[in-house]
């Protein structure tokens, strides 16, 4: 997977998250509008709850589809999310190992290299 493909995937994920926030904003504005109309025209019967409940189920499903079950960041979230998604995709495809000393799964160590690494470990390092 190339750097460009990773960027495209991460960008798509960030746009999905941004789309959720737009959807949620429209939902809130519409619910407020419906509440106002309901309060002014027929305050004894709260009919605005029916469309709110139906649309609210859709909002929850959209949230879970985009974020999973987590708390979205607020400050400069678009750039942070883009970087996070790119790191995730790179780790998934082993493009950028977390540590320079850790070989990728496809790399093969010579026996002498393995012994050298093993000598750096101590028995107390093992659980």
- Structurally, the chain folds into a number of domains equal to 1
pLDDT tens-digit readout, 78-122: 777 888 888 888 887 765 555 555 554 545 555 555 555 555 656
Sorted by sequence, the CB contacts under 8 Å of residue 86 that are 6+ apart come out as 6, 7, 10
26 assigned to some structural domain: yes
Domain that holds residue 49: 3-99
29 assigned to some structural domain: yes
68 assigned to some structural domain: yes
Print burial letters for 19-42: b (CB count within 10 Å at least 16), e (below 16): ebeebeeebeeebeebeeebeeee
DSSP state, 125? G
Q: Which of 52, 54, 53, 63 is nearest to 23 (CA)?
A: 63
115 assigned to some structural domain: no
Q: What predicted TM-score, i.e. pTM, was given to this entire model?
A: 0.54
119 assigned to some structural domain: no
Residues 40 and 35: their CA atoms lie apart, in Å, by: 9
pLDDT tens-digit readout, 5-57: 888 888 998 999 999 999 999 999 999 999 999 999 999 999 999 999 999 99
């Amino acid at each position: 997977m190339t750097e460009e493909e990773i960027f495209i995937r991460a960008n798509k994920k960030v746009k999905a998250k941004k789309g959720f926030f737009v959807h949620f904003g429209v939902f809130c504005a519409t619910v407020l509008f419906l509440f106002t109309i309901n309060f002014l025209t027929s305050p004894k019967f709260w009919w605005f709850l029916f469309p709110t409940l139906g649309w609210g189920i859709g909002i929850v499903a959209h949230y879970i589809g985009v974020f999973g079950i987590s708390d979205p960041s607020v400050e400069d979230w678009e750039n942070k999310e883009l970087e996070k998604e790119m790191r995730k995709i790179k780790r998934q495809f082993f493009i950028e190992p977390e540590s320079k000393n850790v070989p990728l799964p496809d790399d093969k160590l010579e026996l002498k290299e393995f012994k050298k690494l093993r000598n750096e470990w101590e028995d107390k390092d093992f659980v």
